[in-house]
Chain A
């Protein structure tokens, strides 16, 4: 085991698309936090520390952890914030549990749609020296990456279309009758290849093995491995046809978890499919499928719900796109799969699951975690 104390996920609340306007953002965060605590069978008095993942530009609130402290139970409690990514909130929370200095951690992230233009908000992510005078938002970065892949890999658009259709089918199973609105075109991404942003919120509860044993908790997703890495911030410095940071993150997570053959040892996977091209890149970087085999594996349904290794049973980001918290939602989805609490899209016999989170322009930040029903990897 790579950790001094092995963390386990004992509670989750996933709200991937909140359309109603009857609750303010702070009330949505409060509701979601309470839902995760109830799922864990805890109250806020059981929580030793809180990590929130939030984005000031999207929130329209500077240092948004300040306004969120009350909603997540942070008043008079230990609370930290990770604006770099919602998935980083989980990693920090899990590492804190792993130190043995904390029995429990609450992790919460959200992403509202209160700004008049999400694309203008995202442009603030570019450096103000060389890139602000370009239309560089997340969709542009994804489109640039897709254009490179279309040049390098003949037929990749057909593969992407098949991945998109798979995830939309999964979304119909997971959230019947609900789906996000189609995103705009940006060459080579056709209209509807992406999904327009929606408001979302997600919360997770982590605890030590001692705490879990004392409380007699049984539906646990044990953290077996985690990895994270970052690519250069300037897109012009990067090879957009690959995801080296994800490969590094996966290597770290697999080494910690004892995963040597991910296709054989994993039962379910969730990836941040902001575009289907990003999902294809994740297959390669996660060691699930080399690019030369993309067409064959996508075509034979290997990653479909009834395939050898289902990917994105939730429908992924292509079903709902709450921009900033999509990463932590991927983590929570796999935690629920491992805990047997995924609902309509629960996969049978899930022992080991992997979740990948990518954020920033063309997935600059990458993270991967391996969760398992047993503490040790079952091969």
Chain B
């Protein structure tokens, strides 16, 4: 017998409140091209992206600390498939431990030739120094910055 399906498409827009901490973080990126983390008073660790409390100690963070723009690669991957509302593939992304930070910040790697993934991967090895670059037009978003090999 004929087996049918019912197709549905939902289009719901969420407006997620960033709160004071993430709002200030993105405002600094947008207005000053600077990245900041928050220091946990209990451990001294600088958490990036910033949080108002440490999920390790559950203590409120107490201080803004500028980090980067230099850093080193902690992890990377190269993506070949298309995702909704993201750049056309292929592209590389991963995590960078910015100078002065104790946790790594996710972002895209640009300025690389990805046509030979193995060669690109060699350049993205863990520990490789990178520098954070900022877009000319910034909106206060993760896409305002990316990493390039230093």
Contacts and interface: CB of A to CB of B under 8 A. Distances in A.
Interface residues of A, number: 36
Interface in A190-207: none
A144 B76 contact: yes
Nearest to A114: B5
B134 to A, nearest CB: 15
Interface residues of B, number: 44
Contacts of A60: 8
Most chain A Cβ neighbours within 10 Å, of B77, B106, B125, B142: B77
Interface in B80-100: 80-81, 83-84, 86, 91-95, 97
The SS class assigned to the A binding surface is: loop
Nearest to B114: A187
Given A151-B126, A187-B121, A235-B106, A134 B78 contact: no
Contact of A234 (B77, B81, B93, B103): B103
B75 A144 contact: yes
A188 B75 CA distance: 11
A358 to B, nearest CB: 18
Most chain A Cβ neighbours within 10 Å, of B18, B83, B125: B83
Given A147-B126, A151-B126, A134 B93 contact: yes
Given A135-B79, A151-B127, 10 more contacts: A21-B3, A128-B14, A134-B86, A134-B107, A135-B91, A140-B93, A143-B77, A147-B75, A232-B56, A233-B55
18 contacts: A130-B106, A133-B86, A134-B106, A134-B108, A135-B86, A135-B91, A135-B93, A140-B93, A144-B95, A147-B94, A148-B74, A151-B127, A187-B92, A187-B120, A188-B121, A236-B48, A237-B103, A240-B74
Interface of B: 3, 5, 8, 14, 16, 18, 22, 47-49, 55-56, 74-81, 83-84, 86, 91-95, 97, 103-108, 117, 120-121, 125-127, 141-143
